[in-house]
Amino acid sequence: MAVNPIDSPILGGLFGTDAMRDLFSDRAWLQAMLDVEAALARVEARLGLIPAGAATAISKAAKVDLLDVTSLGASTRLVGYPVVALTKALARAAGADAARYVHWGATTQDILDTALVLQMRAGLDLIGNALAAMARALADKAVAHRDDVMAGRTHLQHALPVTFGYKCAVWLAPLIDHRQRLEDLRRRALRVQFGGAVGTLASLGDSGRSVTVGLAEELGLASPDAPWHVARETLAEVAAVLGLICGSLAKFATDIVLLMQTEVGEAFEPHQQGRGGSSTMPQKRNPIASEYVLAAARGVHALVPLMLSAMVQDHERATGPWQSEQLALPQIFVLTSGALMHASTIAAEMTIDAKRMRRNLDATGGLILAEAAMMALAPHLGRAVAHDVVEHACAAAIAARRPLVDVLAEDAQVAAHLDRASLQKLMEPASYLGEAQAVVDRVVARARAAMGES
């Protein structure tokens, strides 16, 4: 049994995608470190700091399959980091002539941090692609259901009419912002870390900056003005942005859970035989995907503070905060991928019951249009008086279980200004949607433009 369900062969597929889990696996992590070591050797050879033959040999040897992971683990438990054993293994594989030039001018954290950046780059690609897929699905749903009227709810009670397309647009809008956040974030976070023992690269003499810039170019990363080995704000920002994404996904999942309630029954997760079933109640169709979105989001939100606290690093090498990032960031990426996996599937394949939406709208006998009646009376009675008149009518309609239009039509103050035909027209939910459909049009247009679609 795995201690963390992310790594469980039974539960892992519920909490994260295989692609993201593979990206943060030990094998991928070790290969990322080897990629950094090989790139460093090639850059230093071009600058004449090490022989070209050594760089070629190191690059050929920088393959994770050549490592003995068992002995690497034993060394890591002793030393505290894997880089010492990794560079020794790389040196052996590269041969005696090249061995002396492995890890030239670098320190452990340079390799670990830059390897992490390579993993984050690939991870952000996966998340960006998943966000785009979900955004497209919600945009399609918003257009398809632009005019399907339903109850808008505040405090879990009927408030005013909206459309399901409007609801989809409200779910969609933050995803567009998150995609922009990811683009902005990449410029700040995807930077090489290369500083040597304390960040000054003293061991490379006057070639330190040239190696840093060359290494960044070789790996397709940005070159920072200063080393960031003890300035961890961009890693914390990555975690925070993924936390924001998960917050938006959790809001979406919460709404789906509520819409799936038996008493509501307006929208449902995609269903297949046995999905969300119960071991004892054959009728159950539980919102299982939404539940795992919520679980993953809570996990991410619990881990983001660990990344924030890891920013407090002492002097030129931290005593603990740096290591604690390893507990949080890979999990944050995997859990975010899991939340997106479930949410994207729901967005693309959910079923909508527009007829049920209409029945639920009518369930309160027109009370959901009370504001419409109040605003129609306000020019004649003043807003405060109109509010009191309609509020009393609502109370009477609830007590007598009568349609609101009937009670309003019998009120002398109302009848003096609005006849029954006018009131009946006010009681049609589709006539009181305000900006709902315009919101759909604006958000969908923005989403399409952001993804380069017409």
What span, in angstroms and rounded, lies between the C-alpha atoms of 201 and 233? 22
Per-residue three-class SS string for 217-231: HHHCCECCCCCCCCC
The answer to whether the beta carbons of residues 306 and 298 sit under 8 Å apart is no
What span, in angstroms and rounded, lies between the C-alpha atoms of 105 and 90? 16
Per-residue three-class SS string for 179-220: HHHHHHHHHHHCECCCCCCCCCCHHHHHHHHHHHHHHHHHHC
H or E element, residue 15: helix 12-15
What span, in angstroms and rounded, lies between the C-alpha atoms of 24 and 31? 11
Report the chain's terminal Cα–Cα distance, integer Å.
Answer: 49
Per-residue three-class SS string for 122-137: HHHHHHHHHHHHHHHH
Here the tokens at position 2 are: 């795995």
Amino acid at 309: S
Closest residue by Cα to residue 372 from 425, 321, 335: 425
Give the active site residue among 317, 356, 358, 446.
Answer: 317
Here the tokens at position 185 are: 């974030």
Give the active site residue among 71, 203, 278, 431.
Answer: 278
Per the annotation, the verdict on 278 as an active-site residue is yes
Closest residue by Cα to residue 76 from 319, 303, 323, 311: 323
Tally of CB atoms within 10 A around 147: 15
Burial of 406 (0-12, 13-18, 19+ CB in 10 A): middle
Per the annotation, the verdict on 187 as an active-site residue is no
Task: Count Cα neighbours of 163 within 13 Å in the Cβ-side half-sphere.
Answer: 23
Dihedral Cα 222, 223, 226, 230, nearest 10 deg:
50
Catalytic amino acids?
278, 317
